[in-house]
Amino acid sequence: MDLSSSGIQEPFDLIRLSLSERVFVKLRGDRELTGILHAYDGHMNLIMSDVEETILIVDTDSVPTGQGVLQVAKRKMEMLFVRGDGVILVSPPART
């Protein structure tokens, strides 16, 4: 099946396919989300549920040599509104 027959005409159609599916969202500020996408709009504002947010923290203060220490903070949210200006990418999670 080619792209045209699957009705994909613009990038947003790909996001549309991921509706109510688990998606991976990369955000500015070293943040990543995985959760179920419920809605989106032209600004890439997203509404997600069952979200796990992963925040990458580079701690440069503790080590003076310049080599930062990576810390990962995670948190879970039941429902989340993501403002579109922070979204870098949206993708379906890799299928194993």
Partner 1 sequence: MSFFGLPQHDLEYEKLRFGHGPLREPDGVAVYTWGEESYDGLGDALQEGGDDLNDETFGAVGSIGKDFDFSASALPEDDFLSKSIPPSTSIKGQLSRNEVTQSPPPTQLPRSTSHSLEAIWDDKSPFSVLPRANGANRMSEHQRNSPAPSPPRFSPFGAGTSPLISHQHPIGHGVGHNQQRARTLQEIEAEMLAAVQESRQRELLMLQQRKLLEEEQHMRLLQEQERQKRLFQEQQLQRLLQHQQERTPPPRMMPVSQSPRFLEHPRQILLLQHQQEQQQQQRLQDLQEQLRLEELERRMIAQMTLQQTQNGNQNNLHRQASNLSFAEIQAAQAFHQQQRRQRSRSPAIGNHQILQESVQHHANKVQLQQRLLSEMAQAEFSGDFQAVSQADQEALRAEAMRKIVEAEKMEEKRRKKARYNDLMTQSDKDFITRIQVSQLVTQDPYADDFYAQVYGAILRSRLGLQSQDERVIKFGSGGGVGLGLAQKGGNRRPSAMQRMEQQVERIVSNARKREEEKGLHSIHSLQGALGKTSGRSYKAAPRQLLQVDAGNASPSPTLSPAHIHISKVSVYHEGAAKEAAKLGREALGNAADTHNLVRQDPLSQRQVLTILEKLYDLILSVEQLRRDQPLPEEDEEVFLQWKTEYDGLVDQVWEELRVMIPLETSDPHPFISLLYPTKGKKILPRLTRHLSSARMLTLLTLLVACFHQLDVVNQAPVLDSLVDSTERVDAERQTQAFLGSVMQSILPVVSVANLRLATGLLGLLLDRSDIAAVAQTRPGLALLTLFLSRVEVIKQMAATAPDMSEIPSTEESQQWKLMFDHLFQLLAPHLLLLFPSTRIAQTSISGHPDLPNPTDIADQPVWQFLAALALHAAVEQHQVLVTVLREKVLDNVLSVNKGWVADENERQTKLANVNLFLHALGLDSSQIVM
**Site for partner 1 contains 86 (CB under 8 A):** no
Q: Is the CB of 68 or the CB of 76 nearer to partner 1?
A: 76
3-state secondary structure of 4: coil
Report d(CA 63, CA 49) in Å as an integer. 37
**Site for partner 1 contains 95 (CB under 8 A):** yes
DSSP E strands: which ranges in 17-68? 22-27, 31-40, 46-59
**Site for partner 1 contains 1 (CB under 8 A):** yes
State the residues that interact with partner 1 by CB under 8 A: 1, 4-9, 13, 16-22, 50, 92, 95
